[in-house]
A and B are shown apart, each in its own frame.
Chain A
Amino acid sequence: MLNILVCVKQVPDVNLVKIDPVTGSLIRAGVPAILNPLDANALEAGVRIKEQYGGTVTAITMGPDQAAEALRECLAAGADRAVLLSDRAFANADTLATSYVIVTAAKLLGEFDLIFCGKESLDGATGQMASQLAERFDASQLSSVLSVLSVDEEKKTVVAERELAGGVETALSTLPCLMTVEKTKLRPRIPNLKSWKASRTAQILRYHSQTIPGIDPEQIGDPGSPTKVPRTYPPEKGPGGEMIREGSAVKDVEKLLGLLADKL
């Protein structure tokens, strides 16, 4: 029986986030929060392993209460249990502090053989979480996995295909192994009515800083985060070039091609 963990994140749909032209700050109101798309692929990878080899899939996330919705999506799509780590003290965490909280809590739930993550998140997009989770789980690490080919529970190994720059690598790693998943063959399934309904009422395991024994307050949230974001600013607008306004597409293009004559 394999013990499978899928680490997920709820993210704002960044394509819909707008910038206030006056203050330069993000307008998040009305922007839907979604399950990070690559995490859905990671979940599917975990669920397929469970179906093939037997085991349980646990979905875990750190975030505000609303992140429970992302976990319900995981439950609908095949996760057996869901864990939400939510506490104000966890806020403003970078990847180091976040990985610390997730791994510290996950260790309360048992020992995991396989850990899946999306390759990166839509909003932060650092792609660092997986490596740091792997480090804290003391797990082997396979990034950019296209598909898991086999798991050998006896020998405690996994074989997976990875997408590298110039081709596809087949690699073998020992368990526990953390894998990051690409957006590819592992399309998340559409839940059926039964599992969808179950997911809407299922119990979600919740932890906060007081209910995770032994958690070090110096390693969580802002104090535990060595990277800081002292400021943000809207991207500078470029100086702009020559606008072509000839009245119609055909004439605009005529003029453009004339201007580009030496490039064509």
Chain B
Amino acid sequence: MALYNKLSPSAAEKLRAIVGDGRFQYGETVREEYSHDEMPIYGRFLPEAVCLAESTEEVSAILKLCHEENVPVTVRGAGTGLVGGCVPVAGGIVLSTMKMNKILSYDMNNLVVHTQPGVRLCDLAADALAHGLMYPPDPGEKTATVGGNVSTNAGGMRAVKYGVTRDYVLAMTVVLPDGTIMKLGKTVCKTSSGYSLLHLMIGSEGTLGVITELTLKLVPKPRMDVSLILPFCDIATAIASVPAIKLANLDPQSIEFMERDIVDSSAAFTGNAVFPTVVNGKEAGAYILVTLVGDSEAELTAKMDRLGEVAEKAGAYDTLVVWTDGLKKDVWAARSAFLTVIEAETKLLDEMDVVVPVDRIAEFLVYTHDEAVRQGVTVRSFGHAGDGNLHIYCCSNDLEEDEFKRRVKELMDRCYAKCTEFEGQVSGEHSIGHAKKAYLRESVGETAYGLMGAIKQVFDPKGILNPGKVCHDWEGGALDA
């Protein structure tokens, strides 16, 4: 039985009428890039049409039509996801938010910004800074849209101090699958007012509704900050320092870890060898990168002193001070380039975004490396040491794709099981999409997974919004029926 209909030519013309010729792609004009995200290993699915909406009203009209026509709608931002979340696996149309890219207004009294969802994170961050404010969530992928960030509850490098995207969403406008427009949340910081549909929407990966406007909380920009690089002999020693750093009462803004080989690759790729590889005559095998913020140089110096002591006890080769703006830019640019570097160097790529308790990070990484060796797959990792969120990339340049997939599945089955054993999470910030559904189910158990499915059913009884994702099972075959 076909669950969904194909987009009929007449329905396509109606969509064209809604968004206009210039923002509509249909049939042959649909661009290939809409068939995948940054993890093409999970398959390519070309949509039947693409609508680049510009307003809530357009989104509403599109959804109303598709709801009536029983055509799937997959929302897509910048397409920088890593789990196939924005890929139309069941066909239908892609609804792009990229033209909803305006920052609408600032409320300087209440420290909030109203924005459309298609604004890129880097643009929002820069614009907020120009207003003397900071948008704290800071995921590595700066060209992602804020809408995408909210839909995946993205975390990023500053989560250890400021929390994640969820903590900065105060309100939003959402269009439900049948086209109903709804506002959720208010511009206030507290609520004890019934079930939080707002928070249900955050991290729901476009399966419950389409976000068309956001009210985000900002904070005053910290007066001063400094980053410190702690080089270690190996990753286990590096990670072992993290609990002590957290205990030192420094309130760090971020604690990142990186292994030597990815630092080397980043240096070769960007031409900017900013991380020293030999420190005090010793080869560094891994690094911890800490950022501290404060009101004055004296405050920062006191914090740095404490960090220096902790680092030395933990076996760091030295404590390097990234003080000048130019150096900060270089260091963080190198850090932000890691995924890009891996993508550039690797033919076949898959990833895990697990979260484990901070004191199990090293153990988990060792386990993963050992398993990878057994499977003959290269593993490269970096991530947020402060919150236990690890980005682990499985890479191969010589295996056949099917063989790679088989081995990576084997590897991941074991690693996710280990993660569950460690009381960890399947994904910290990249989400589930269609790639990690089975691991989610395994991890949360049947009861929770069933509840998630039931919630999806309440919001989207026809299942037209981003089918086949998170907890929604779609049997496939509709398009061929």
Contact = CB atoms under 8 A, between A and B. Distances in A.
Q: Are A and B interaction partners?
A: yes
Interface in A167-201: 187, 189-193, 196-197, 200
B276 interface: yes
Given A190-B276, A197-B301, A248-B23, A76 B325 contact: no
Given A247-B22, A248-B23, A34 B325 contact: yes
A113 interface: no
Interface in A243-258: 246-248, 250-251
Interface in B1-31: 20-23, 29
A261 B474 CA distance: 48
B318 A192 contact: yes
B168 to A, nearest CB: 26
B321 A196 contact: yes
A63 interface: no
Given A34-B326, A37-B326, A200-B297, A193 B321 contact: yes
A194 to B, nearest CB: 8
A133 interface: no
Interface string A208-248: 00000000000000000000000000000000000000111
Contacts of A160: none
B327 A190 contact: yes
Contact of A190 (B23, B229, B297, B308): B229
Contacts of B274: 187, 190
Interface string B189-216: 0000000000000000000000000000
Interface in A90-124: none
Interface in B287-319: 297, 301, 304-305, 308, 318-319
Nearest to B322: A190
Contacts of A13: 325
A247 B308 contact: no
A35 interface: yes
Given A190-B229, A200-B297, A246 B321 contact: no
A196 B323 contact: yes
Contacts of B319: 192-193
Given A34-B325, A187-B273, A192 B320 contact: yes
A196 B297 CA distance: 12
User: Which of B319, B322, B324, B327 gathers the greatest number of chain A CB atoms within 10 Å?
Assistant: B324
Nearest to B327: A190
A91 to B, nearest CB: 25
Contacts of B22: 246-248, 251
Interface string A38-69: 00000000000000000000000000000000
Nearest to B318: A192
Contacts of B297: 200
B321 A76 contact: yes
B130 to A, nearest CB: 10
B301 A191 contact: no
B284 to A, nearest CB: 12
A39 to B, nearest CB: 12
Nearest to A73: B324
A24 interface: no
B324 A34 contact: yes
Nearest to B99: A248
Given A193-B308, A248-B23, A200 B301 contact: yes
A248 B22 CA distance: 5
Contacts of B229: 190
Contact of B276 (A76, A189, A193, A251): A189
Contact of B324 (A35, A200, A246, A248): A35
B320 A190 contact: yes
A32 B326 CA distance: 10
Contact of A191 (B23, B321, B325, B326): B321
A13 B325 CA distance: 10
B324 to A, nearest CB: 6
B275 to A, nearest CB: 8
Contacts of B23: 247-248
Nearest to A250: B29
Nearest to B24: A248
Contacts of B29: 250
A247 B24 CA distance: 11
Nearest to A248: B22
Contacts of B327: 190
Nearest to B320: A190
Nearest to B304: A193
Contacts of A196: 321, 323
Contacts of A192: 318-321
Contacts of B322: 190
Contacts of A251: 22
Nearest to B29: A250
Contacts of B273: 187
A247 B21 contact: yes
Interface in B330-379: none
Nearest to B227: A190
User: Which of B20, B22, B304, B305 gathers the greatest number of chain A CB atoms within 10 Å?
Assistant: B22
Contacts of A247: 20-23
Interface of B: 20-23, 29, 228-229, 273-274, 276, 297, 301, 304-305, 308, 318-327
Given A190-B321, A190-B327, A193-B228, 9 more contacts: A32-B325, A35-B326, A37-B326, A191-B320, A196-B323, A197-B301, A246-B22, A247-B20, A247-B21
Interface of A: 13, 32, 34-35, 37, 73, 76, 187, 189-193, 196-197, 200, 246-248, 250-251
14 contacts: A34-B325, A37-B326, A187-B274, A190-B229, A191-B320, A191-B323, A192-B320, A193-B318, A193-B319, A196-B321, A200-B301, A247-B23, A250-B29, A251-B22
8 closest A-B pairs by beta carbon, nearest first, are A247-B22, A196-B321, A248-B22, A193-B319, A190-B320, A193-B308, A192-B318, A191-B321
